[in-house]
Amino acid sequence: WDIGAREELVGLVEGGRIRPGRAIDLGCGAGANAIYLAQRGFDVTGVDYAAAAIDKARARAGAAGVQVNFVVDDLTNLRHISGAFDFLVDYGTLDDLDLPQRDAYLRSLLPITRPGSQFLLWGFEYPVRWWERFVPFYDGPFYAGEVVQRFSPYFQIDKIGGEVDFSKWPPGYAVYLMTRG
């Protein structure tokens, strides 16, 4: 996961579809996406459950010469984040949660959005093969239609990328850009 700012994010920012504003990186890890946004004029908060990841992200932001507010918090029950954000980013966090946690994540996320907030969501999405159901540590990708079912009552949804290729592992992903109604 520590590969720098993700290509879809870079494309949206460089192309002008996402403009600087107040941004939050949900599950920021070592901070690559948050640092990238800060370098482009965003007021950025990065959130992760892992204190070690936040420590690493703070050090990287300092080395990059940018200010990012990094916070240790639980995305299924945000306690240290307030106010609304113009732009939300989640690269591979929501799909790591089990289904009840995904519901809690959405309940926690909605109060930090406002009408017009944009949300970039990247996650594994493909039909689960029979044997994957028996892998004990595997919570599973987004199921077909899950993102639309979960988010459409609150967001307009645009699927902007993805593929499924069962010759690879994991075999598929999807990228959504959603706008809060």
Residues 145-170 have pLDDT tens digits of 999 999 999 999 999 999 999 999 88
What is the structure's pLDDT at 134? 81
pLDDT of residue 113: 98
Q: Work out whether the CA dihedral 140, 34, 48, 75 comes out positive or negative.
A: negative
User: pLDDT tens digits, residue range 37-64?
Assistant: 999 999 999 999 999 999 999 999 999 9
Instruction: Identify whether the C-beta of residue 61 lies closer than 8 Å to the C-beta of residue 36.
Output: no
Whose tokens are 């990708």? That residue is: 141
Mean pLDDT for the chain overall: 94
Arithmetic mean of pLDDT, 81-91? 97
Residue 133's pLDDT is what? 78
| pLDDT value at 1 more than 60 | no
